[in-house]
Amino acid sequence: MKLPLNKWVAIGLTVSLLLALITSPVKAEGLSVSARSAILMEQESGRILFEKDAYSQRRIASITKVMTAILAIESGKMDDMVTVSKRAVYTEGSSIYLKQGEKIKLEDLVYGLMLRSGNDAAVAIAEHVGGSLEGFVHLMNEKAKELGMTKTVFSNPHGLDDHEQHFSTAYDMALLTRYAMQNKKFQKISGTKRHSAPNPEEKWDRKWRNKNKLLTELYEYSTGGKTGFTKRARRTLISTAEKDGMELIAVTLDDPDDWDDHISMFNWAYDKFNLVPIIEKGKIDEIKDDPYKGKVFSKKSFLYPLKDDEIDFIDTNIKLIKPPGKKGWREEEKIPSPIGTFIVKLEQETIASIPLYYDVPAKKDEKGFWEFFRGIFSFSTGFDSNG
């Protein structure tokens, strides 16, 4: 059920028109992880449920490829055939064994990137999407800035330790994953256990099995993620999970026991938290005063992960722009949009400011007599002006 409003204000100033989320973590009694850096984030709200040194910059190894994958997907070139370069073929480390000069679909390269962590695939993707490896790295860093990844620097598309200036934080990588998981194609690829790709020079297709053991065998609620390892970064891991509608993101950096740590974080969160609907999409029935009664609505629902003992500390408040008179705006086109804000607080801290809108009835088309008559004629004869 939707939480009841503790109070509302029908006249006031809009304090925010954008969704604003608080990311401070909660106390994590009974949970510990081996990683040097770790974070657990809820997908819908962005709330941090657990963290451990989540803002320290560290090497990230192949979880870099989440950025490479989402840029490839967003490029609109997934159906392109990519010609594999010598530079891609001779990239060291994990590989999907591409051959110089072969042509392979970009989509299959992204599967090889995410499932088998192919460094050769990463370079082939970068050169095709960015025009060059260096051009693609520029795109990676621009995207990082756009997403608020303030402590991240990318120098390659694969995560190898070939540059000193290639690092991120657990928090930044959670932000990236949260963004990527909003993309249906990324969700599908990240959550794929096996993929087959044509191999035109052989009689057999390439068959790839996902390296993410949480997805393939260890955790029933796993929905995807990305593994990583280099000698300097050690083990890194991003994983996602979903249970009873609650989607979680876990990131660990330099973690010798990452499979168990991710399972522990997920199980702890699913035991301690419920995803509570704070506001539902549609009309706000609590508003009783004109000219807003029955007219104000939210375009989206807002759910927030809460412990049982936190629910009583949720406070909600509505702030609406003051109308010019008791009857509101005389001309509907002058009504502001948004019209106000639904503010949610937890223990006096604002966790969301959700835009509210005024329901303006759509104008009916006014057709002339002959247009109306012609419409009837077309309908009755079964023909239109194109025959």
> Which residues belong to the active site?
62, 65, 117
CB 158 within 8 A of CB 69: no
Residues 6+ apart with CB under 8 A from 217: none
Instruction: Residue 152: count other Cβ atoms within 10 Å of its Cβ.
Output: 25
Binding site residue list for substrate: 226
Binding residues: 226
Distance set, CA 83 to CA 9, 100, 102, 105, 155 (Å): 61, 8, 6, 9, 23
Cβ–Cβ under 8 Å, residues 354 and 44: no
Q: Residue 243 forms beta bridges with which residues?
A: 246
Token pair for 362: 């759509």
